[in-house]
């Protein structure tokens, strides 16, 4: 049977655990300070350590860090007091396998999780992570940061705590949320997502909280809200930064009290939904800009997982491509090395969503022609990344443009790359012997639409997604901004 080491300065806790776990046949040693803990580790190999977070001579997190160095194979459970979730999450980040709150309210569960932890070999967690990922078509890839993040997500999934996912658009926040749901005890219950930026305030309110019959024009019958429907499951609040101040107040109330009322009703209802919120805007910045409530952020951000952009985990690109290509089992498509190099060099502002679009485009265009995807099947701006730089230099050297602010080189400006790529394509049309005016005109229209969207997105970024302020920056009406965004898919 396994060796268990327990460190807690509350003698009753040590005695209780020694009695309980000793009775199950484990070899239990109890110590009362950090010093004694490390003295014990010198003596023998332990399979599990249960560590109190507060000790007279040190704290549980320090112990954990050293334990990971001295006996890395030893599993660990951090024991915290009530309302110390943040410390517990910190411990999980440092590699603890689990945490429990004192006083223990579910002894069976504690015994069960110790048993599972000790029964399983080191790869157990990884196998389960891979199983869930493959069920969800979630490519894990090989980047260290992504694997670490998934392990974190897996460990906290079983806890009843809210999670905040931040990351650029298309990085996979929603698939991550689904992963957490699937890894949680709520997996059989509904997972419901709602995009807080896609609905008007009134619609979002009625969507989230439901409404009574006749509570507003058009409310011809009672409708349950998502907090009610997802009560035992998970509610995914996408683009939460876009929720209006009024909705933010209601969300805060629900997170604090678990109670809410349907629109048009004064009867409080309870919800047990687990909230996973996501945002491409940094919510701390949004709080500083006063567009997001600090108390709401505090409630949502029990655990924050920052999803890295694709450009910082390029080792995953090939895995993602292979996964996307495998969706077409009737074709044996491959990308040439040259095409892969172009994909690896690109910055992917639209992240995995953009990569999926590029792969779909290439497979569609090559259909009936070849199963070997060469650079010619990639979008123009990807094919000509190098050439674009040449045009760029040319423009910089152009005397009349020398002081033009837009032309200052900046390594990551996607906008500049696009504009220069567009100019390059246009010059190619210009130099060509045959002019197809329809093609040129399409090219110009696309420029207008894309550049227009870029300006709108820039304004939205600068105002942290606040459409009213963005419209003011652009000196157009909010209505027009909404129209343009919807009309042109921004």
Which residues are at the interface with ligand ATP (CB under 6 A)? 137-139, 167, 169-175, 238, 280, 352-353, 356
How far from 4 is each of 88, 258, 484, CA to CA, in Å?
A: 20, 38, 63
| Least gap, CB of 145 to ligand ATP (angstroms) | 13
| Least gap, CB of 320 to ligand ATP (angstroms) | 6
| Least gap, CB of 273 to ligand ATP (angstroms) | 19
Give dist(CA 49, CA 29) in Å, integer: 10
Cα 60 to the center of its chain, rounded Å: 28
Give dist(CA 286, CA 461) in Å, integer: 10
Tell me the H-state helices in 162-259.
173-182, 201-209, 226-229, 245-257
Q: Which is nearer to ligand ATP, 273 or 324 (CB)?
A: 324
| Least gap, CB of 294 to ligand ATP (angstroms) | 23
Q: How many CA atoms lie within 13 A of 337 on its CB side?
A: 0
Q: Which is nearer to ligand ATP, 55 or 152 (CB)?
A: 152
Q: Which is nearer to ligand ATP, 174 or 478 (CB)?
A: 174
| Least gap, CB of 333 to ligand ATP (angstroms) | 17
Q: Which is nearer to ligand ATP, 172 or 421 (CB)?
A: 172
Q: Which is nearer to ligand ATP, 134 or 341 (CB)?
A: 134
* Token couple for 147: 């694997």
Beta bridge partners of 263: 211
Q: Which is nearer to ligand ATP, 348 or 377 (CB)?
A: 348
Q: Which is nearer to ligand ATP, 37 or 176 (CB)?
A: 176
Asked if residue 456 lies in contact with residue 490, where contact means CB atoms within 8 angstroms, the answer is yes
Q: Which is nearer to ligand ATP, 174 or 347 (CB)?
A: 174
Give dist(CA 344, CA 305) in Å, integer: 25
Give dist(CA 408, CA 424) in Å, integer: 17
Give dist(CA 91, CA 62) in Å, integer: 10
Residue 436, classified by CB atoms within 10 Å of its CB into exposed (0-12), middle (13-18) or buried (19+), is: exposed
- Residue whose structure tokens are 């590699």: 95
Give dist(CA 384, CA 387) in Å, integer: 5
Residue 123 neighbours by CB under 8 Å, 6+ apart: none
| Least gap, CB of 476 to ligand ATP (angstroms) | 24
Q: Which is nearer to ligand ATP, 22 or 308 (CB)?
A: 308
Asked if residue 242 lies in contact with residue 197, where contact means CB atoms within 8 angstroms, the answer is yes
Q: Which is nearer to ligand ATP, 43 or 488 (CB)?
A: 488
| Least gap, CB of 247 to ligand ATP (angstroms) | 18
N- to C-terminal Cα separation, the chain: 60
Size of the chain in residues? 490
| Least gap, CB of 180 to ligand ATP (angstroms) | 12
SS3 289: coil
Give dist(CA 294, CA 168) in Å, integer: 21
- Residue whose structure tokens are 């900046």: 410
Q: Which is nearer to ligand ATP, 93 or 319 (CB)?
A: 319
Number of C-beta neighbours around residue 455 at 10 A: 15
| Least gap, CB of 243 to ligand ATP (angstroms) | 15
SS3 346: coil
| Least gap, CB of 342 to ligand ATP (angstroms) | 20
Q: Which is nearer to ligand ATP, 79 or 277 (CB)?
A: 277
| Least gap, CB of 251 to ligand ATP (angstroms) | 18
| Least gap, CB of 351 to ligand ATP (angstroms) | 7
Asked if residue 78 lies in contact with residue 99, where contact means CB atoms within 8 angstroms, the answer is yes
Q: Which residue is nearest to ligand ATP (CB)?
A: 172
Q: Indicate the helix (H) or strand (E) that contains 63.
A: helix 60-70
């Amino acid at each position: 049977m396994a060796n268990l080491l327990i460190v807690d300065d509350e003698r009753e806790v040590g005695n209780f655990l020694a009695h309980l776990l000793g009775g199950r046949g484990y070899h239990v040693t109890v110590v009362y300070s950090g010093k004694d803990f490390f003295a014990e580790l010198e003596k023998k190999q332990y399979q599990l350590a249960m560590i109190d977070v507060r000790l007279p001579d040190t704290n549980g997190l320090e112990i954990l860090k050293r334990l990971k160095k001295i006996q890395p194979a030893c599993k660990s459970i951090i024991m915290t007091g009530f309302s110390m979730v943040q410390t517990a999450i910190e411990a999980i980040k440092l590699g603890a396998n689990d945490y429990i709150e004192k006083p223990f309210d579910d002894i069976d569960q504690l015994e069960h999780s110790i048993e599972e932890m000790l029964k399983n070999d080191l790869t157990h967690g990884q196998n389960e992570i891979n199983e869930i990922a493959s069920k969800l078509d979630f490519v894990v890839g090989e980047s260290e940061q992504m694997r670490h993040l998934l392990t974190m997500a897996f460990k906290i999934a079983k806890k009843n705590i809210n999670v905040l996912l931040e990351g650029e658009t298309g990085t996979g926040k929603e698939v991550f949320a689904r992963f957490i749901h699937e890894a949680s005890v709520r997996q059989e219950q509904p997972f419901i997502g709602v995009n807080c930026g896609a609905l008007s305030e009134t619609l979002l309110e009625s969507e989230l909280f439901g409404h009574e019959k006749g509570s507003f024009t058009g409310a011809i019958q009672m409708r349950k809200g998502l907090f009610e429907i997802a009560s035992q499951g998970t509610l995914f609040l996408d683009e939460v930064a876009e929720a209006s101040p009024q909705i933010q107040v209601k969300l805060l109330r629900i997170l604090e009290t678990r109670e809410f009322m349907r629109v048009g009703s004064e009867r409080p209802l309870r919800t047990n939904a687990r909230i996973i919120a996501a945002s491409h805007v940094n919510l701390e910045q949004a709080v500083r800009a006063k567009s997001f409530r600090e108390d709401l952020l505090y409630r949502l951000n029990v655990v924050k997982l920052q999803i890295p952009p694709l450009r910082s985990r390029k080792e995953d690109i090939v895995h993602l491509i292979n996964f996307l290509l495998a969706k077409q089992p009737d074709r044996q498509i491959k990308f040439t090395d040259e095409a892969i190099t172009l994909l690896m060099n690109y910055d992917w502002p639209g992240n995995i969503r953009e990569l999926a679009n590029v792969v779909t485009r290439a497979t569609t265009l090559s259909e009936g022609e070849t199963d070997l995807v060469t650079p010619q099947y990639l979008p123009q701006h990807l094919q000509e990344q190098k050439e674009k730089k040449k045009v760029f230099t040319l423009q910089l050297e152009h005397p009349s443009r020398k002081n033009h602010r837009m032309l200052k080189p900046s390594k990551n400006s996607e906008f500049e790359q696009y504009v220069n790529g567009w100019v390059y394509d246009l010059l190619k049309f210009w130099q060509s012997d045959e002019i197809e005016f329809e093609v040129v005109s399409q090219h110009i229209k696309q420029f207008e639409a894309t550049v227009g969207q870029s300006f709108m997105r820039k304004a939205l970024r600068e105002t942290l997604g606040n459409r009213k302020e963005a419209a003011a920056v652009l000196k157009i009406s909010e209505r027009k901004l909404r129209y343009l965004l919807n009309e042109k898919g921004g």
